[in-house]
Amino acid sequence: MNPTDVPGLPPGVPEFLVDSGIEALYPPQAAAVDAGVTEGDSLVASVPTASGKTLVAELAMLSSVHRGGTALYVVPLRALASEKKAEFERWADFDVEVGISTGNYESSEEWLSSRDIVVATSEKVDSLVRNGAPWIDDLTCVVADEVHLVDDPNRGPTLEVTLAKLRRINPDLQVVALSATVDNADEVADWLDAELVKSDWRPVDLRTGVHYGDAITFDDGSQREVPVGRGERPTAALVDDALDDGGSSLVFVNSRRNAEAAARRQADVTDRHLTDDERDELAALADEVASVSETETSEDLAAVVEKGAAFHHAGLSAEHRSLVEDAFRDRLLKAICATPTLAAGVNTPSRRVIVRDWRRYDGEFGGMKPLDVLEVHQMFGRAGRPGLDPYGEAVLLAKDHDTMDELFDRYVHADPEPVGSKLAREPAMRTHLLATVASGFARTREGLLDFLDRTLYAAQSEETARLESVVDSVIEYLVANDFVERNGDEITATNLGHTVSRLYLDPMSAAEIVDGLRDADDPTPLGLYHLVCRTPDMYQLYLKSGDRETYTELCYERETELLGRVPSEFEDVRFEEWLSALKTAKLLEDWASEVDEDRITERYGVGPGDLRGKVDTAEWLLGAAERLAVELELDSVVAVREAKKRVEDGVREELLDLTGVRSVGRKRARRLFEAGVESRSDLREAEKSVVLGALRGRERTAERILENAGRQDPSMDDVSAAETAVDDGDDGGKGETGRSGGAGADQQASLGDFE
DNA sequence: TGATTGGTCGTATAGACAGCATGTC
DNA sequence: CTATACGACCAATCA
């Protein structure tokens, strides 16, 4: 089928497709068109990664827009949202405008409602529905990307419920669900009243196999010799072998530490294959990587990047990740060693994929648990770059013959697991039942059950008894915590319940916060950080060896600051969790006390990405706590707001006025303060030479800051920097800056003890 | 003698959405 | 209750 044969597209689009090299549709794409995706019919496409799913979605959305509608593209990750938005912007010439809406970035409200295509995460869509965004009612087409994630215990139910709500709001809505190949795609299609297109077709040949001894054995029985030298590791031999053919490698391992260690070893291999030009480019890239942050992670990454390899995991900052991903896509980096993040994230295809570790530690399982077939197949799916590689290879590693047989059975010749709804789990129910009541989708127990009948859970499950019993116990919980009220049969959300639903909080988090704040007289930042850290919406840090003692001690030392009653050290299982929350809270307190980033990452054994993540979540939760305090007219509002501002800017109290000035962050604010410029008004009146000195003689920066502070004459012409007492950043590892009295001083004492 | 190999022991274990209102060094 | 790999350390072995 040719693009010109596709009905329903805006004029010019088929020709545009042909011009951009798409002369014939891939078979699954043609099947989707035959099933009516461009004529408003719903569809489930269960096809391999990189087999042209995105074009199917684009055809559906373009045709829907052409008929005068608007489309929504739902993704599981923020990074994917920006990737897709950029991709869809190629339709700008056809008057199709694209907007984006995620937690950290959003096109403005009225602008968004004028878009033809909006890209958003499933949580954001859920939140938009809860907050009654008007344009949601006018949608004509929704695309759900990676719909197999309904199986995810944490986030799957959100996708499931959101799709159910969108369909209820608009019964004529066209739903296009894109899925990896799963066993029971037909059930998903039944649920969505959609046609099913199922295919194994791939544009680039994929060969999967197992390496054992000195060769890879592929699924078709063929072999490729890849001898492993004496003392050499199989992974290194495979990376080397791929490079001999001019191909890159993507290695999946099961822990961050392994990713970093393996990347160091691979770097020695990739280093041997570099041209002089590549070496220059890599040196520049390494500099860029190193300058992202002054942390060990940054240095370690730069050290391997220089040799053409990299590691990739969630401890990296967003900048690190995109630098690595882009350079790998540009074929500058020859090998990446990654945790499973990469398999689910943005598009990073590679000639060869090596799944080195196929088991991962799982605390609940109590040991090393084999990865799901679906997960491994997702990794396999990264092999082969369309248009660049003649074929892709995915290889598992076996160290003995039995393992080889097992891997063939378990992964190479196996079908992926069926996906199943996780909606009946209580944490998911808590959030979604409250939201369903609060946004008026149901007003009674029966109404709730009726709504739930539209979900995948109901479509998959014969008996509803389990669902009913979870619903009942969750209603009890919501009533007991004053989120909903019962009047006879009717269930309505209280004001508090409405607020919690709109804030997108887990009701259990809200209950914890409300309890803690009610108990609080004059809460300290640490007390508030601990409060939000022990909610289920915050992932806590692990306790490492020795941490138990450290934080038990800290817990007693600062017991008066902690909100609520400390669980008993000896009787209560919650004590452990209380300590992890304390460790996490302490990290936030360090951050809000201007401890350097590298100091924090080292002290808590986390990466810069984790630090950002914790700070981000704390910001969100403290913002929510502030709103709750306002709602309940509690005295702690001011204390919460200040604690929030301090994590947001990463500074002590006395710098908050300065960091309120645009382009002044934690570093510059501290330098200015130390030079005697202590507030926004000081900035307007201070001696210019002092300001310039504090800013290390950066004239442009100084001018910008003075201007932002509202100074009349910001010009730095003819001003020379004054000497300042501030030491110059290279502070010999002493992260804690600032000793000036006020609120900071009493905290300083315990900080010292903590070392 | 120094380099390489081989054993034990201790230790640590993937990921990341959301409100609101704007912007680091 | 459940596993495994890595790195650090130290001892044994070989050129």
pLDDT one-digit tens code per residue, A380-421: 999 998 888 889 999 999 888 888 999 999 999 999 999 999
- Strand B reaches within 7 A of the A610 CB: yes
Nucleotides of chain C in contact with protein CB (under 7 A) are: 1-7
Q: How far apart are CA A607 and CA A187, in angstroms?
A: 41
* A407 and A528 inside one domain: no
Task: Output the distance from A443 CA to B5 C1' rounded to whole Å.
Answer: 73
Dihedral angle, C-alpha A697, A318, A80, A615, nearest 10 °: -100
Of A752, A748, A729, the closest CA to residue A592 belongs to A748
* A174 and A238 inside one domain: no
pLDDT one-digit tens code per residue, A224-255: 999 887 778 889 999 999 999 999 999 999 99
First-to-last alpha carbon distance for chain A, in angstroms, is 69
Of A615, A735, A718, the closest CA to residue A670 belongs to A735
Given A503, A526, A545, the domain boundary residue is A503
- Mean pLDDT for chain A overall: 90
Both tokens assigned to A267: 């770097």
DSSP A541: P
- Is the model's pLDDT at A568 over the cut of 90? no
Of A129, A85, A134, the closest CA to residue A114 belongs to A134
pLDDT one-digit tens code per residue, A510-566: 999 999 999 888 999 999 999 999 999 999 898 888 888 889 999 999 999 999 999
Task: Output the distance from A241 CA to C13 C1' rounded to whole Å.
Answer: 32
Q: How far apart are CA A738 and CA A747, in angstroms?
A: 12
Given A455, A474, A503, the domain boundary residue is A503
- Is the model's pLDDT at A189 over the cut of 50? yes
What domain range includes position A593?
507-650
* A550 and A568 inside one domain: yes
* A263 and A318 inside one domain: yes
Q: How far apart are CA A700 and CA A431, in angstroms?
A: 49
Please state the rounded mean pLDDT for residues A33-53: 94
- Is the model's pLDDT at A731 over the cut of 70? no
Both tokens assigned to A642: 């200040």
The count of domains in chain A is 5
User: Is residue A29 annotated as involved in ligand binding?
Assistant: yes
Task: Output the distance from A216 CA to B5 C1' rounded to whole Å.
Answer: 28
Q: How far apart are CA A598 and CA A442, in angstroms?
A: 50
* A145 and A221 inside one domain: no
- Strand C reaches within 7 A of the A264 CB: yes
- Is the model's pLDDT at A725 over the cut of 90? no
Given this model, what pLDDT does residue A544 score?
Answer: 87
Given this model, what pLDDT does residue A739 score?
Answer: 40
Task: Output the distance from A300 CA to C14 C1' rounded to whole Å.
Answer: 35
Both tokens assigned to A357: 């570790």
* A404 and A374 inside one domain: yes
Given this model, what pLDDT does residue A747 score?
Answer: 40
Q: How far apart are CA A32 and CA A8, in angstroms?
A: 13
A495: left (phi over 0), alpha (psi -120 to 50) or beta: alpha
Q: pLDDT band at A724, cuts 50/70/90?
A: low
- Strand C reaches within 7 A of the A361 CB: yes
Question: Within 10 A of A459 (CB to CB), how many other CB atoms are there?
Answer: 14
Q: How far apart are CA A417 and CA A183, in angstroms?
A: 6
Task: Output the distance from A452 CA to B19 C1' rounded to whole Å.
Answer: 26
Given this model, what pLDDT does residue A752 score?
Answer: 36
* A686 and A629 inside one domain: no
Task: Output the distance from A383 CA to B17 C1' rounded to whole Å.
Answer: 28
* A345 and A218 inside one domain: yes
The H or E element containing residue A338 is strand A335-338
In a domain, A613, yes or no: yes
pLDDT one-digit tens code per residue, A695-712: 988 888 999 999 999 888
Who wins on pLDDT, A546 or A207?
Answer: A207
Given this model, what pLDDT does residue A742 score?
Answer: 40
Both tokens assigned to A754: 């903590």
Instruction: List A205's β-bridge partners, or say none.
Output: A391
- Strand C reaches within 7 A of the A368 CB: yes
Q: Which of residues 534-593 of A touch strand B (CB under 7 A)?
A: 537, 539, 542, 544-545
In a domain, A599, yes or no: yes
- Strand B reaches within 7 A of the A124 CB: yes
Q: How far apart are CA A618 and CA A749, in angstroms?
A: 24
Q: Which of residues 658-687 of A touch strand B (CB under 7 A)?
A: 659, 662-669
Please state the rounded mean pLDDT for residues A133-148: 94
Residue A347 belongs to a domain with what CATH number?
3.40.50.300
Q: Which of residues 200-239 of A touch strand B (CB under 7 A)?
A: 230-231
* pLDDT above 90 as % of chain A: 77
Given A172, A198, A224, the domain boundary residue is A198
Given this model, what pLDDT does residue A732 score?
Answer: 38
Given this model, what pLDDT does residue A626 score?
Answer: 96
A613 nearest nt, CA–C1': B16
Which residue's CA lies closest to nucleotide B20 at its C1' atom? Answer: A623
A662 nearest nt, CA–C1': B23
Question: Within 10 A of A214 (CB to CB), how many other CB atoms are there?
Answer: 13
* A711 and A610 inside one domain: no
Both tokens assigned to A429: 């129910």
* A257 and A330 inside one domain: yes
pLDDT one-digit tens code per residue, A596-629: 999 999 899 999 999 999 999 999 999 999 999 9
* A408 and A432 inside one domain: no
A253 nearest nt, CA–C1': B14
3-state secondary structure of A137: helix
Task: Output the distance from A613 CA to B13 C1' rounded to whole Å.
Answer: 20
A659 nearest nt, CA–C1': B24
Place of tokens 């209560």: A572
- Strand B reaches within 7 A of the A255 CB: yes
The H or E element containing residue A235 is helix A234-244
Given this model, what pLDDT does residue A646 score?
Answer: 95
Given this model, what pLDDT does residue A233 score?
Answer: 86
- Strand C reaches within 7 A of the A262 CB: yes
